[in-house]
Structure 1
């Protein structure tokens, strides 16, 4: 024997609304939790179902003193549903209008693009020009090393490097003289250190 299936959320909402419609009275939450099981809505679920109805403006609540009362009238609920329906119909109408506009734009964009010998020839010519442009671009890149601006930059960089090398060479000679003058007893050791760091007898300024 199959287990009895419980009410869905929508069914619970409908049953809870019937409590209000049948009595057209005001209720406290604890009163609804007692009446809910008579309609198939367990007391533990009444609060959540009731809140969902309040969120959708199908049930209204107001605080009087320290108590919160809930109520719902068929006329008010009907008005809310009519408003929802009107909004949905307006949205549907706007969507249909937008779709028609898109279809018109689509048809309009097709004008002048019909298949023809002239169009096919124009497309072929465009493809040929694009290929020629790519070939010229590739050829231009091969001569990039001979670019006058690039050559000028390399020339300037070389000059700066040349000056820097001679400046450091001058620093090395100054250091050698200082060490020789201040530590003459260590001259042979200094010569050995020079060779270790690559300073040989032919070490000199660059022309």
Structure 2
């Protein structure tokens, strides 16, 4: 049986490990030699992995003379995760304001249906993002515990925000059931609310 190749996410993690373990700057041709040997990343995917990490803000690059060098330091990765958490928190705040407007101006069943669908979808996506960020925190835990503690606090605040959203969705459901005399299962189906929709643990 042939050995399964690395996924793109696994390649990104291993490439970051190479930078963080060495603490050095590399040219692309150097990475194309080292990555296959040290991290099992096939040579023809090295350039693509580097580009994706740059897009994620986890790798920096600069030109010295005619040569382009790439580097990534542990502190930069942690700060990138922190910025991502801040972006997610900002999305929560924006959506919370929209949900408040729905509650204050709920005069149209179709409008409520669309808004609740949108809110439910946002919550599900953000829950997934929280899980991913938690995994990334574990990877960095041993290297910068002080900053990781700060990020853990951010995640806790994010979870609390998600649960406040969940409260709002349940409140709207209760209001709709009373106003339109709808059963909960029918309401969930029409509004696109998943059966396992619940608070974030």
TM-score of the pair, normalised by structure 1: 0.50
**Which residue number corresponds to residue 31 of structure 2?**
32
The reply to whether residue 72 of structure 1 matches residue 46 of structure 2 is no
The reply to whether residue 23 of structure 1 matches residue 31 of structure 2 is no
Using the TM superposition, name which of 89-98 and 24-33 deviates more. Answer: 89-98
**Which residue number corresponds to residue 199 of structure 1?**
none
**Which residue number corresponds to residue 47 of structure 2?**
47
**Which residue number corresponds to residue 91 of structure 2?**
91
| 1:131-142 matched pairs, under 5 angstroms | none
5+ residue gaps, structure 2: 110-174, 181-201
Superimposed CA distance per residue, residues 106-150 of structure 1 (whole angstroms, 9 cap, x where no aligned partner):
16999xxx89xxxxxxxxxxxxxxxxxxxxxxxxxxxxxxxxxxx
RMSD over aligned CA atoms reads: 2.3
Greater C-alpha radius of gyration: 1
State how far apart, in whole Å, the 2-side matches of 1:64 and 1:26 are. Answer: 12
Give the 3-state SS of the residue equivalent to 2:98 in structure 1.
helix
Give the 3-state SS of the residue equivalent to 2:16 in structure 1.
helix
Residue 104 of structure 1 and its aligned partner are, at CA, apart by 2.3
State how far apart, in whole Å, the 2-side matches of 1:64 and 1:97 are. Answer: 48
**Which residue number corresponds to residue 12 of structure 2?**
13
State how far apart, in whole Å, the 2-side matches of 1:47 and 1:93 are. Answer: 37
Residue 56 of structure 1 and its aligned partner are, at CA, apart by 1.8
Superimposed CA distance per residue, residues 127-181 of structure 1 (whole angstroms, 9 cap, x where no aligned partner):
xxxxxxxxxxxxxxxxxxxxxxxxxxxxxxxxxxxxxxxxxxxxxxxxxxxxxxx
Q: Taking CA–CA contacts closer than 8 Å with sequence separation of 6 or more, which of the two structures ends up with the larger relative contact order? A: 2
TM-score of the pair, normalised by structure 2: 0.51
